[in-house]
Amino acid sequence: MSDDKDRASLEELETKLSAVAHKREEKHSPNRATGKPSQGMAIGMRISAEMIAAVLVGLLIGWALDRVLDTTPWLIVLFVFLGAGAGGLNAYRVAKGYDSAVGLGRAMRERSKQGDED
């Protein structure tokens, strides 16, 4: 009798552990069915895109102003540094989560909270 009770208890524990492990795997790993990347990979890609875009915008603004004002290469150099600074600031904001206070970040956070409640 004791063996049957212990066996049933162990089977119940095993099913609970597998359910918790499955739930944790769904929450922390990429979805293999949809192929969506994990959150860490998405943040890394966003930070790199922010940095590259800011430097390129600074480069283009500097180049255009140099052409108009005939000050080559001073404004290109200035605006590349300004773009790098802006990209660094944007990357810092993304890493700290400051960008999610308003706009799309806030809307996505509220949407995910609604999904968790359902």
Is 118 in a helix, a strand, or coil? coil
> How many Å apart are CA 99 and CA 97, to the nearest integer?
5
User: Per-domain residue ranges for the chain?
Assistant: 1-33, 42-118
What is the per-residue pLDDT across 59-114, written as a single tens digit (0 to 9) for each? 999 999 999 999 888 999 999 999 999 999 988 888 877 766 555 666 677 777 77
Provide the whole-model pTM: 0.55
CB 44 within 8 A of CB 37: no
CB 47 within 8 A of CB 96: no
| Cα-Cα-Cα-Cα dihedral sign, residues 17, 20, 24, 26 | positive
Structure tokens at 10: 């162990």
More confident residue, 115 or 93: 93
> How many Å apart are CA 90 and CA 96, to the nearest integer?
10
